[in-house]
Structure 1
């Protein structure tokens, strides 16, 4: 029995008025009876919800009735399941015994228990990739840093069931119509989103290379922004591959079927192929990619109940960790070498960012944050700091992948901010005239911070170990689309040796001992700060010391009648 209703996975009200008598003669009424899901293999049934009960009481006889075995020993006892596996330890606590389910049988213990735990961890790190495909990548040694994994048929991920369940599935046809990367690009847009991203974005442009199935995503406020990104991507891929692109394929949306796209394809010698109206499977390569990215983002947001305004970061991460195809990864097909995944972390997990600057001796050395994505142009992680609400890019960070970040500071919005539905159901785009302009994005409902999803990705997985021989990083966002991000400075041990002689305290030819060097450095810094002068009047008026000094000078003028 317990008095905490938040622990129950299911509750059934009771009709009879049963009461529990406490030690101090007070009584508590049994309001409901339900089940508590401790872990996927340990469920407490017929637990009574008692009002005003300040303790959580567990009956040994009830455990025995459920098929569990309790072994009492001196020092530490154990609860075992029907197969003899350890469920949780029981330690003496005064004259009673105490069970800590969070540290004994919770998800944090499961993640490091055995081979299936490692499989679960990498399943979550890679955006809930299917167990069969994950085991296939591991057995063929297609990715560096991925341990040997074996798929198990009895493993069921509830988040995958919630996020990927469909009424029926179509037959997947893996037909590649090109001979090398960059010959044919499949394009489509997703949106509008029901919730604006942190930077006010509503749409996602998804582009897939036909040969390698390498994908790019680009976040937009309106569909009219698609042309600039496609224009730059085509030129960039031409420089990278050394051969001309052959064709583009898209639906009949106004963002693709307009005069600007027509003129660009004509000037570059590109064939622009369109799918038939209301026949989405003709553009099925990118349509399936859209579904994959949205499903991965949906369940990553749902796993740790991350606010929906971070949907762009979730899609960003989903595109970064995806791209498996046939017997090789998209990265290897495009760049000719295997990617590395040892730096990947679970989306939405708790992390700790090292604080920089002059800290007090007893001040905490790190700030709590939420892992969101990977930086595009640097070897860093993108983290949302809970104390300031900023998104920073830093490599000075450690992760706790077993704990979701569910502190009060994390739950910033109302109930409509957390959910699984991201995008509106978009109708199939039909043909439009060539001079029709794309629809403009609706006005934002409220002002939003510009600490948005970083350059909508995607740089290669080996961005974390680049060498001068690596191919250039291809971010899916242009420089003008980059949002403002606070980058944590890296600590430097370099010492500036050139100083103006006027700032040096003491004789230039005198020796400096270790004891003197510390005090001299302190005095030199104080002297430098004291000699600092403002640049203009506004700067001086912002300093109280300068204002007082000016008042004293004016009083001297009046006193001396100057």
Structure 2
């Protein structure tokens, strides 16, 4: 957020300076007359639109008031003129509106684009390694000498610091020592002569690639590609610390890693400062948006395609899981009873909007956990459940010579009556009650409800 504030202020100053300059040029022209400055134009408004004019005082040459209202005018000292104009400012309302327009203009100029800071160019004419990004260096120490970098156009660029650089590659890494930091240099440059001396290596160029090999074993430990007329070593993306330009400011995200919460990353909860994925950073910047939103931005070419994470490597963001989830997940339990009628699931459905031909508006289900066999009984009132279960239990003992051990239900009043609880106690049946407002714990019978209702509605619709 600190970077963004700096950017807004910088852009606002630029826009303000632009408008002041523009106003002065029109102050002596025939468009606005002497002493009139145009306000910052709105979006879609022509730059020459002077429908809103900021006056300039002829007494103190400050904007926001006329001479008749100026505090420094001797004629106004005894007229009770507000002292607000002593500083040359406008009224609070006018100032707020103008500042709002300035900020809108500043935001409209802000662009976010990826800087090519992940590329290191091999240069045989460079005397030392050079970079303009402080986020690429470690063990920085200030440079107090008068040495500078002289480029091909004859310009000299001051050196501010000296440090070490670690370049992560696809299969290995390359360490550079005594890399100079010149903020005006836009590219990362590797001196071939210094690379050979520091690493005791040899550099081999081919028409399409460049290879850095150990001088003794001839084993390759770095490989680059040719881009146009230049040979480039590219940093490995998963370990890359992306650098972005926003407006007029450039900053390295790895250098300010604390601004991104560690829990926002798809891959891991704990990361080093140089291990943020670009997709994780965009996921955090855009308010922890979903993958489909990032895909749309990539399709519209608003962010680079490298911001899109691979499907095989994407994991859930822990912050999104904790802050966006409404219900904790329920684990599927497929455990069944070891013998028939050991556990019975039961629930009541209703009331129906229309009575049946027999006047029933409810039904109760009894499902055997072992066989999933279902019995359905229609009722006119919920209070009929204890009487129906007594008949059901008698049927089980008579036909199957078996007893019910566990009875799974919810906490409805039809299962909490004293008559029903007393019957379960007499028969030695354990009542298992699901938690309030948690039908998932009695999912077998809840799913059967859906099956019965959908089947009935389909048959009714088919028969008109």
The normalised TM-score by structure 1 is: 0.23
Q: Computing the radius of gyration over CA atoms, which structure comes out larger, 1 or 2?
A: 2
TM-score normalised by L of structure 2: 0.28
**Higher relative contact order structure (alpha carbons within 8 Å, sequence separation ≥ 6):** 1
